[in-house]
Structures are given as C-alpha cells and as structure tokens.
Structure 1
C-alpha cells in the first residue's frame, strides 16, 4: 500500500508523530522496568524478536525482500539484536531519563559523524551547532555519572556506555538504510526475521536467562510492548509521519522524547529529575529543534 502525501490529511501525520512520541517514551519506561526485574537483557531481546519476528515472517514472504543475505545479516545484527542488547543492558544500570538523553540525543549526533567520515556529508553550520548542543547534553549526563560513581550507584556509567553503543548501532543501521536505499518494509521484515532466526537459537542454547523466575504479567508486558509497540507500531508510524509531514517535522519527536521520558520516570519508576538530567534534557531538546530547523528547505 502506497501513501500519497498530497492527498493524506496532515492531521493523520501529526497523529502518527504523536504516537511515535508515546511509543518511544514508553520504550524507555517499559525497558527500564524490565531492566529492574529478574529478566536479563537477553530475555527482553528474545521476547522482542520472538513476537515481532512471528509477525514479520508472513510479511517477509508475501511482499518479498530486496536485500541479499549479507545485507540481511548485517542489518539484523546491527539494527536488530545488536542495538537491542546494548539498549536493554543499559536499562539494567542507568535511569530511563539517561536513555532518553543519550540514545535519542546520541542517534543524530552519531549519524552525522558517521555520514561526515564515511560519506563526506559535512553538516551545515546550524547543524553543527545542534550537534554540539546534543553532544554537550550527553556529556553532562556521562560526566555526572562518573562524578557520582559510588557504592550506591556503581554501575550507572556502564548503563550510559551501553546507551552510547546502542545509539552508535542504530545510527549505523540508519546509514546503511541510506546507502543501500532500503525500503521500510524490507528493513522491518529483515530485522524481524533475521533476528528471529539468528538470535533466538543462540539465546535458547547459550545465554543466561531469568525468564523462568519472572511473573506472567512481566513477560506479557515486555513481549507485547517490545515486540509489537516498539518494534512494529513505532516503525510504521514514524515512516507514515515522514511521508505525510516530511522528515523535518517527523524528526521533532527526537526533541520531545527526552523530556517526556524524564517526566514519566518520576511516577512510574520513582526516578527524580536531577539537575544534571534537567540540563541534559534541555540541551538535547534544543539541539534536536535546531537540527530540524537546519534541515528545512529554504
């Protein structure tokens, strides 16, 4: 099914963008709940790819896939379980607000850096300012984690490092999508099916598990949210919003998620907003807004 951006009402695009904000914010909250539970990062990733993979298998075979086997393996490794394992590992150690700042702020930063180095795509001056602010926001959070490294919070900095690796993995995936001109349906079905076939057997045979100790409600929440909402709904809605509103307006979601994640972490996770977190949220949000402005056509 194709989407005609000129005939589709713009309110549908804004509704899709709002849905993405909810999905990405919820991802940070739900993933942090999983990280604080008996589930291991390997369990959460397995639930994500089991559910999304089963949904994507028929789409993979019905619509076909234009990627070769090597490309499928690479996007499944980098944009699939590579990104997921780094993100879920980070949620074991660091607050949800850190994920909102580092992942959502780090993705455009890492993407611009990779594109600059390997594609010779030099950012415009305003984009450089936006990237500097995003980098500063990430640095504030990381520096604060190092400064507060103590017996009470010994591993927060490791969570931040995993979030940085997750941002690098997703940015690399985005660059590959651009280089290989991958269709959204190929990317989603390729990640789902490849991760299901490669990661699940490794998980079942070799990786540590805590899922047998988890309650049914915990397993159901993580399986539903990670496999359907985060992996499928968010991806479709972001693609739809981009087609209807344009990439600039759709990218505004990056500016909103750090703030909404930090706010919702207070009642749902009992994680208060510290001064460094607040500064990081403001810097990353301003950087994202400037980045969108820099991308607007003259």
Structure 2
C-alpha cells in the first residue's frame, strides 16, 4: 500500500473509534455506568497493559517530569470526568456540537492565551461561523424547550476547553505519540484510581457484567491506545489538516446514527447546530487550498534534484 492509502486506513480506524466513543459513552448513561466508574476502569486497564511494557523497555524516565503529569490531569482525568458526565444529561448530538465542534475554537483560544499564537484568517472565519451557529441554535432551542443551554452542554464545553489546552500543550512540548499516550494513561491511573477507591461513589452492581466489560475494553484499549496511535500515524502520511478534517466528521456521523440506534431526538435546533459547527470545524474552503504533507515532501525532493 502507498503511504497515502495507509494514511486513509489509519483515518478510518480513528473515525470508527471516535464515533464509537460518542455512542458508547451515551450507552454508559443508559446502562447505569457512572462517569466515576468508567473513568477509573478505563485508566486502570490501560495502566495494567502499558506499565509492564514501559518497565520491560526501561522507558520510564520521562514519566517523572512535570509535563506528562500536567497532560494527564488535563487531557486525562479532567477531560474524561466532564465528558462522560455530560452524556448522562444530554443526547449524543449535543456532544458533536458543544464538545467536538467547540474543540477547534477552544484550541485556538488556548494557543493565543498560553503562547500568543495568532489567529489566521481561516481561524477567524471558523470562529465566527461556530459562534453564529451556537447563537442561532441556542435561540431555536429556547423557542422549542425554554432552555438555551443545559448542564450537560456546559460540561461538554468544559471538556472542549480541557482538550484544547491539552492539544496546545502537547504541540508545544513535542512529546512523541507513545510518550503522550502512556503518560496520560499511567498518571491518570496513579492519581485518580486511589481517589476513586477511597472517596468517590461506586455503582458497579447495577450494570450488567457483560456491558461493563465491553465498555472497559473499548474505552481502555481502543480509545486510549489504538485511536491515539492511529491518529498520529495518519497525520504522518496525510498531514495534520487533512487528517483532522476527516476524523472530525466521526462524532457528527455518530450523532446522526444515535437517532435510530439510541432512539434520540433530532430537533430543528440540533440539525442547525450540527451543520454550522461541522462547517466551522472542517473549514471545507481550505480543502482546495491545502496540499497534504506527502505532496509537499515529493515537491521538495524534486526541487532538490534539479
């Protein structure tokens, strides 16, 4: 397979897992699996798999630094608790809008506030489209239900803030995909699991054992490990913009699939929000202006040979 074909395979893997995250996280709420429980079990399983590998490879020195710890607290514990909790209050479609749709916005704002990264013209256009979409959608929701924003929507927005900060820090600190993934999983388990065992409520008897096992395997292995590595490999072959644009579609597709699969409503306000946030996040006008990294490398090689 060519590098480009490999890239699309990795993109497909990432999309399936990210879309599955939206559906299965909503199922957690329906099956009685609390955010406290799934967060602890997810990181506990990842820790049991990854820590022996790091010890065997004698690759644990990077863990004992401040940066991996901070990444785990923001992109691991903070993100998981708010996002998993939000699914207990609002349908899956709200995650596509207030979580995945707002991540580009929060990432751009975090980059500006933390490292003075300027907004380019495309970012400004995206921000205006997304803010307008949220404003109009909120107005329509208020007309339909009398509530413009719910508590779950606020939790999703906090999750987008955590992930935006996490993305900016990861980009600035330049950790490898392997070190970023393992540090988030291991430090999250080391800090959160003991707190969960001693202080936090547990609800492990209500869910069916098979449901609980399936959720832990999916979120602990597929979401934490496989999706992260597949996403990074796709970026290497297709470039960050094209990869990010394609995989961002996954939660929006999952929100539509949740209507027949989970019997969730899809109102006029939600449809408008999905379309507006998808356009703002994907920036489709840039597809015709952007070359992937593979094309750029080939062009550079040809120029060097001249």
Q: What TM-score, normalized to structure 2?
A: 0.87
Q: Note if 1:55 corresponds to 2:49.
A: yes
The correspondence of residues 146-185 of structure 1 with structure 2, limited to 5 A, is: 157-185=150-178
Equivalent position SS for 2:117: coil
The correspondence of residues 76-155 of structure 1 with structure 2, limited to 5 A, is: 76-143=72-139
Asked if the contact 1:254/1:285 (under 8 Å) is kept, the reply is no
Q: Residue 220 of structure 1: which of 209, 213, 219 is its match?
A: 213
Match of 1:9 in 2: 3
Q: What TM-score, normalized to structure 1?
A: 0.89
Gaps of 5+ in 1: 1-6
Change (3 A) 1:93 1:117: same
C-alpha displacement of 1:81: 1.0
Tell me, in whole angstroms, the C-alpha distance in 2 between the residues paired with 1:146 and 1:56: 46
C-alpha displacement of 1:109: 0.5
Tell me, in whole angstroms, the C-alpha distance in 2 between the residues paired with 1:144 and 1:32: 24
Match of 2:62 in 1: 66
Equivalent position SS for 1:251: helix
Tell me, in whole angstroms, the C-alpha distance in 2 between the residues paired with 1:177 and 1:239: 12
Indicate the RMSD between aligned Cα atoms, in angstroms. Answer: 2.4
Match of 1:199 in 2: 192
Asked if the contact 2:111/2:165 (under 8 Å) is kept, the reply is no
Asked if the contact 1:65/1:186 (under 8 Å) is kept, the reply is no
Tell me, in whole angstroms, the C-alpha distance in 1 between the residues paired with 2:85 and 2:130: 22
Gaps of 5+ in 2: 297-306
Equivalent position SS for 1:272: coil
Match of 1:33 in 2: 27
Equivalent residue pairs, number: 289
Map Cα deviations across residues 23-79 of structure 1 (whole Å, 9 max, x no partner): 111100100010223221101111211122222213433244535432232111101
Moved more, 183-192 or 122-131: 122-131
Match of 1:43 in 2: 37
Tell me, in whole angstroms, the C-alpha distance in 1 between the residues paired with 2:285 and 2:237: 16
